[in-house]
Structure 1
């Protein structure tokens, strides 16, 4: 990834931060976004000083935030070769309590922002002769979600459809679009889940455990690299066998 600039949305914590670190280790220059000045600063400090990484504040629930983020990255680094659409929000509001406002909140970040950030990055990638876009879905988008909200499951299913659509449309410009669909991964968020829930989820997983961030970042590095130069429109499940397609 030497000489390439990668943008990781939602890269200030969890899986996104792990992907940002992995890209840096592979020689990329990394831009990442977060919704809190404190988390962006903390993530930037953890990634290390120097000009090879920079954090940006962006609330992708707002319609203008995506284009503004892409413009800011281009102004700072001059190009974008790799995009990871990792920013997302979770909802556990059930079908009977789900409101239009909650539906829109989830879809605005998980789906709408993913499309518009991808499209704006693709404009820049076309000028460079190509690029790689990686969308982050979820096992919930594949099996409907054992627990949680139809808003979340449907938004993540739509991300898989969006991946296939953009892969076809961006291919003539040398832009590959792929997707990963993790299940339960050990992060600062899942660490707070009740043990009863964690045990129940492990029972539904043939490998009987949560995945690790490094087990996700390896796939992200592969898709973003030239090693995957003939792969586009694909979704890779990272779920310990909990869903087999």
Structure 2
């Protein structure tokens, strides 16, 4: 029997790379996809060094259905099948309402929502052939649960992903495919590294556990949904935020 195979979109950096690393360490064959070929090749080498399963980088653009079909085809050809899709690719630019343009709105919905759809559509046939097909969506606490100034369009995409997930889970249940979502809170990634220690400390102050999450924290949550013994869990979302959404006020964190 072949090893189980996962495809992680947006897998060359940040949360996507963290997800890929957890699967690699747990013996999965791992395919990662991203638009930046140079960064993707670098991530491929780093993930291979972790041991466990085999790793493949395939350049791809989630906003193009044909590109995602090519990514999935290359993954299936290389590894012999596909069992898990982590629809992770996303963007999070900031734009206040007064200044937000139509292009700002369209760009983020193209990547975060349409890109999720195209990735899933491309993966459906091999997932149906898998004995335990799994889809894991990377959403966020921002939008479905919380809000933050400048991210109304981002929050809109993340809430849309959960609305999509619930009906997709019903449609795909007859094929034995589960569809679930992970909702990260504040996770330390390359994008936060340059924000400065003062900014990072202000983020930690709002989290009861007093630390930012690690990208592998999200990877472990995705791995739970992906495992064969999670086959009776579908249409669900798991918050991974160190308790960030729990306090009524910031003062409650230290009360």
**TM-score normalised per structure 1:** 0.92
* 2:65–2:122 contact (8 Å) kept in structure 1: no
**1:92-117 deviation line (CA, Å, top 9, x unaligned):** 01111111111111011111111121
- Match for residue 39 of structure 2? 39
Q: Aligned pair 1:12/2:34, yes or no? A: no
Q: Provide the aligned C-alpha RMSD in A.
A: 2.1
Q: Which residue of 1 aligns with 2:29?
A: 29
Question: Residues 11-48 of structure 1: CA distance to partner in whole angstroms, max 9, x if unpaired?
Answer: 11111112112112212111111211111111111122
Does the aligned pair in 1 maintain the 2:113–2:157 contact within 8 Å? yes
Distance 2:159 2:70 in 1: 26
Mapped to 1, the partners of 2:143 and 2:204 lie a distance apart of: 19
Structure 1, 158-167 or 42-51: larger mean CA deviation = 42-51
What is the number of equivalent residue pairs in this alignment?
245
Q: Is the aligned partner of 1:153 residue 2:155?
A: yes
Secondary structure of the 1:141 match is coil
Instruction: Indicate whether 1:174 and 2:172 are aligned.
Output: no
Q: What residue ranges of structure 2 are gaps of 5+ in the alignment?
A: 248-255
Q: What's the CA shift for 1:2?
A: 6.7
Question: What are the within-5 Å matches in structure 2 for residues 1-245 of structure 1?
Answer: 3-48=3-48, 52-244=54-246
Task: Tell me, in whole angstroms, the C-alpha distance in 2 between the residues paired with 1:4 and 1:39.
Answer: 25
Per the alignment, in what secondary structure is the counterpart of residue 143 of structure 1? coil
Contact 2:21 2:216 in 1 (8 A): no
Paired with 1:33 and 1:109, the residues of 2 have a C-alpha distance of 14
* 8 A Cα contact 2:143 2:152, kept in partner: no
Shift of 1:201: 2.3
Task: Give the TM-score normalised by structure 2.
Answer: 0.89
Q: Which runs of 5+ in 1 are unaligned?
A: none
Q: Could you say if the C-alpha distance between residues 61 and 194 of structure 1 is closer, same or farther in structure 2, counting changes exceeding 3 Å? A: farther
Shift of 1:145: 2.5
Structure 1 residues 134 and 31: alpha-carbon distance in aligned structure 2, compared to 1, 3 A threshold: same
1:176-205 Cα deviation digits (max 9, x unpaired): 010000011111211112333323322322
In 1, are the aligned partners of 2:63 and 2:115 still within 8 Å (CA)?
yes
* CA distance in structure 2 between the aligned counterparts of 1:137 and 1:4, rounded to whole angstroms: 24
- Measured against aligned partners, the alpha-carbon deviations of 1:58-110 in whole angstroms (never above 9, x if no partner) come to 12233432223222222333311100011101120111111111111101111
CA deviations over 1:100-148 (Å, ceiling 9, x no partner):
1111110111111111211221222112344000000011122343233
CA distance in 1, matches of 2:174, 2:65: 28
